[in-house]
Structure 1
Amino acid sequence: MPHGSNLLLGRLALATFARVVPHLSVVELSAAEVLAEPHRHIQRVYFPHSGIISCVVELADGGMIETGMIGNDGVFGASQALDDKVSLNLVAVQIAGRASVMAADRLRTLAGELPDFKALLTKYEQFFVAQVQQTAACNAVHDIEARTCKWLSRMHDLVGADLLMTQEFFAGMMGVRRTSVTTVAGALQAAGLISYSRGRLHVIDIEQIRKRACECDDVVRSHYQQMFPPAEADASRHRCI
């Protein structure tokens, strides 16, 4: 799969893209694989082609909650690599997939040599911070069904209509009890919006899911489109390298 399958890399000017590609390799991302642990330096930077990477806050009681989601429209580890910072949270693969990877020190060097590459990484970091802030507000004030529909909409944007996950895992990402997830999933299934069986979830009606989602779904999507206009992407796509 070409490196341009990552939409962020695909936005680079062709000359810059050609400079970056020799330093990338493609790896498989396995579900539940840990990519970074709290207070550890980042060794590799990941540009997903498929799948989902989650940033997770672990709580003292053993619980956890997802604060940020990264798919083929983003990158994990770039901001830490640029400043040689540690990861402050657990980062793990939520949905298996593939990614282009680069050594953190190599990315830091290239960013110093290629201003447009560094600018793109910085823009994505701005978007990601906005996503985390919106998620914090969402978790504080919106009900579980609205949050679930927002999460399903974002997942649909990144990986499509079919998801592999257990209710336990989903509850952990949402920071709620499994019984709450069971109730919401049952209601959505009864309404004909999703089907769920043995860890396989299929989104049947994404438009109705989005109507039930909280405002945060549109806000996060709008943030990304403002930072990365679609026309800009169309002008610079190069999937063949």
Structure 2
Amino acid sequence: MPHRKNFLLNRLEPTILAQIEPHLTTVEIRHQEVLAETHQRIEKVYFPHSGIISCVVELVGGGAIETGMIGNDGEFGASQALDDKVSLNHVVMQVTGKASVISSDRIRVAANELPAFRGLLVKYEQFFVSQVQQTAACNAVHSIQARTCKWLLRMHELAGPDLELTQEFLAQMMGVRRTSVTEVAGDLQKSGMMTYRRGRIHIVDLEQVRAWGCECDSDIRSHYRRIFQSNESAR
């Protein structure tokens, strides 16, 4: 069943997923496709199978910074849909992938009728808030090099060792100047951690990237395990 490629949907009992499945469709979402604009009403909820969804805070001066990544371990739009609210961020597909999609109206009905499903969505919202809080602390305290490595670790976890993105995009997601990213990327290449050619990053030495990164990646993983009472192999 393709919908079980999403970790949250895969955790549902077969009888519960069977009640939701008729209302799910599978779609491919392309790189840079916008899923929601800031203050836009949420019409669809996405459960990724692959790829990465990025939540970005846009600033009045034209800058932007990423506050959270969503992959096949989560969903986007459920908490807003349950309360009939709008998106607080600009939400864009960072890495092309597929997802199970359900309308906001239908997910509200399903969550009210299926307490186990609603409980799962609430747990993920708790995790996502913890990820945003960790990211805020990381952006305030840690060096650009450590943050870049943490960012690459999360990307690798969700999308694998080959990432198609530009330094301009990476700089925007981290809220720093492109020159800073260029310098850090050069250091990582010289140390043999990754290669970067024409907008494509290939992670060569994951353990070294982890050693250069801050503790935030492992802390985020720990939050996830504690909330879902799972281990890495279950993911």
TM-score range, shorter chain: over 0.9
* Partner secondary structure for residue 195 of structure 2: strand
After the TM superposition, list the runs of 4 or more consecutive aligned residues in structure 1 that deviate by more than 4 angstroms: 231-234
Structure 2 residue matching 1:86: 3-state secondary structure: coil
Q: Secondary structure of the residue that 1:75 maps to in structure 2?
A: coil
Q: Quick check: 1:11–1:233 contact (8 Å CA) kept in 2?
A: no
- CA shift at 1:211, angstroms? 1.1
Q: Deviations over 1:113-146 (max 9, x none)?
A: 0000000000000000000011001000100000
Q: Which residue of structure 2 lines up, in the alignment, with residue 216 of structure 1? A: 216
How far apart, CA to CA, are the structure 1 residues paired with 2:55 and 2:4? 23
Structure 1 residue ranges without an equivalent (≥5): none
Which residue number in structure 1 is paired with residue 34 of structure 2?
34
- TM-score, structure 2 as length reference: 0.97
Which residue number corresponds to residue 202 of structure 2?
A: 202
User: What is the CA distance between 1:165 and its match in structure 2?
Assistant: 0.2
The code of the aligned residue for 1:83 comes to D
Residue 127 (structure 2) aligns with: 127
Bigger RCO (CA 8 Å, 6+ sep): 1
Equivalent residue number for residue 177 of structure 1: 177
1:62-81 matched pairs, under 5 angstroms: 62-81=62-81
- The yes-or-no answer on 1:47 pairing with 2:58 is no
Q: How far 1:89 moved relative to its partner?
A: 1.1
1:215 shift after superposition? 1.0
User: Which secondary structure does the structure 2 equivalent of 1:47 belong to?
Assistant: strand
The answer for unaligned runs of 5 or more in structure 2 is: none
Partner of 1:8: 8
Which position in structure 2 is the counterpart of 1:91?
91
**In 2: Cα distance, 1:224 partner to 1:187 partner:** 31
Please give the TM-score of this superposition, normalised by the length of structure 1.
Answer: 0.95
* Equivalence for 1:160: 160
Contact 1:79 1:121 in 2 (8 A): yes
Any conservation in 1 of the 2:225–2:231 contact (CA below 8 Å)? Answer: no
More off after superposition, 222-231 vs 168-177: 222-231
**Amino acid in structure 2 at the alignment position of 1:134:** Q
For the aligned residues, what is the CA RMSD? 1.4
State the match for 2:22 in structure 1.
22
Whichever residue aligns with residue 10 of structure 1, its letter is N
The one-letter code matched in structure 1 to 2:215 is E
Q: CA deviation at 1:61?
A: 1.6
Encode CA deviations 1:186-207: one digit per residue, 9 max, x unaligned: 0000000000000010000111
Is contact 1:11-1:232 (8 Å) kept?
A: no
Structure 1 residue 232 displacement after superposition: 11
Q: Distance in 2 between matches of 1:76 and 1:178?
A: 28
